[in-house]
Amino acid sequence: MTDRQPPRPTDAELAILGVLWERGPSTVRDVHEQLNRDGSTGYTTILKLLQIMTEKGLVVRDESERAHVYQSRYGEQKTQRQLLADLAERAFGGSATKLVMQALSGRKANAAELNAIRELLDTLEGETR
Amino acid sequence: MTDRQPPRPTDAELAILGVLWERGPSTVRDVHEQLNRDGSTGYTTILKLLQIMTEKGLVVRDESERAHVYQSRYGEQKTQRQLLADLAERAFGGSATKLVMQALSGRKANAAELNAIRELLDTLEGETR
DNA sequence: CCTCACATACGAAACTCTTCGTTGACATCA
DNA sequence: TGATGTCAACGAAGAGTTTCGTATGTGAGG
């Protein structure tokens, strides 16, 4: 193993990652403008966060231009799975199945969504067999 | 509305809540002994955490005995759903369905678990109809 | 060359989280 | 009664998070 597990992103970091996933590689200005649609955070706040995230290895920075370009180091799905595994560990006794069932019962789903999930189940069952 | 939404429990708080859910109402000593099976935290650390959790409203304290007895204010499932809704909001664009599907694909499930989920889906579909 | 706009870097403040040492109250028992 | 053990309360330290003000560098235009 050459490098460590990435740390769990904090709330503010996750908001930034969301923008990077949506927009692709972005400058601080890009992220700041996107994030200021709702709520207000200063430009330097975003900059500082991105610097810290670079140190942590959550994003990679391209410094070849004057305005550095940041992009998420890990894909959206990979990060989401990481967060889910983490939550399963901390709050569901390590059982992802319990997590899924709780997520399903805790809300109202429409028929289309339920069908999509059911199809996914079929696919998974095919693979397992 | 008479009182506020409870705050999201932190990691250490969640570990304590896990013990309270498992054991029911417990003293600091109880929790401490349970939690020291794995890892090591001092007695006063647990005490302090429980005091803070009382202030936050995550637990309720019975002071009628010399050794105060704590219990979780919110049930395990309710808390789990809260955490899932929170994670869906922060990392899945508010879509619980995306969360479920990601949780399902991100792991290997055995046939029994998949069947349990399928049955739950049937139940839910019945209710929705 | 000087200034303006825009960018990064630095440092610090305010806050939360986690940890634990110390203190003082109180009960038990020798 | 005095020693011992158990308990809650308090305070504080150290780390991490989030915020932003200020300093500094640099390219473009006048």
pLDDT in tens, A79-94: 999 999 999 999 999 9
pTM given for the model: 0.91
Nearest nucleotide by C1' from A43 CA? D20
In which band, very low, low, confident or very high, does the pLDDT at B3 lie, cut at 50, 70 and 90?
low
Q: Kindly determine whether residue A83 and residue B80, on different chains, have CB atoms separated by under 8 Å.
A: no
Summarised one tens digit per residue, pLDDT across range B23-42 is 999 999 999 999 988 768 99
Q: Is the pLDDT of residue A54 over 60?
A: yes
Summarised one tens digit per residue, pLDDT across range B53-67 is 999 999 999 999 999
Q: Is the pLDDT of residue B87 over 80?
A: yes
Residue of A74, A118, A85 lying closest to B103 (CA atoms): A85
Summarised one tens digit per residue, pLDDT across range B102-122 is 999 877 778 889 999 999 999
| pLDDT score at A69 | 98
| pLDDT score at B39 | 64
In which band, very low, low, confident or very high, does the pLDDT at B129 lie, cut at 50, 70 and 90?
low
| pLDDT score at B5 | 80
All protein residues with a CB under 7 A from any atom of strand C: A 27-29, 43-44, 47-48, 51, 66-68; B 7, 10-13, 40-42, 44-45, 47-49, 52, 66
Q: Is the pLDDT of residue B2 over 70?
A: no
User: Which positions 7-26 of A are in contact with B (Cβ < 8 Å)?
Assistant: 11, 14-15, 18
Cβ-in-10-Å burial (0-12, 13-18, 19+) of A70 comes to buried
Residue of A84, A122, A39 lying closest to B117 (CA atoms): A122
Bases along strand D below 7 A from a protein CB: 6-12, 16-22, 26-27
Which residue in A77, A108, A128 is closest to B102 by CB distance? Answer: A77
CB atoms within 10 A of CB B63: 8
Contact assessment for residue A71 and residue A59, using Cβ atoms and an 8 Å cutoff: yes
Contact assessment for residue B27 and residue B68, using Cβ atoms and an 8 Å cutoff: yes
Which residues in chain A have Cβ-Cβ distances shorter than 8 Å to B39?
none
Mean confidence (pLDDT) of chain A: 92
Q: Kindly determine whether residue A102 and residue B108, on different chains, have CB atoms separated by under 8 Å.
A: no
Distances in whole angstroms, Cα of residue A94 to Cα of each of A65, A89, A91, A123: 44, 4, 8, 24
| pLDDT score at B36 | 87
Q: Is the pLDDT of residue A128 over 80?
A: no
The CA-CA-CA angle for residues A9, A14, A18, to 5°, reads: 140
Pairing state of beta strands B26-27 and A59-62?
A: unpaired
Strand, helix or coil for residue A62: strand
Bases along strand C below 7 A from a protein CB: 6-12, 16-22, 26-27
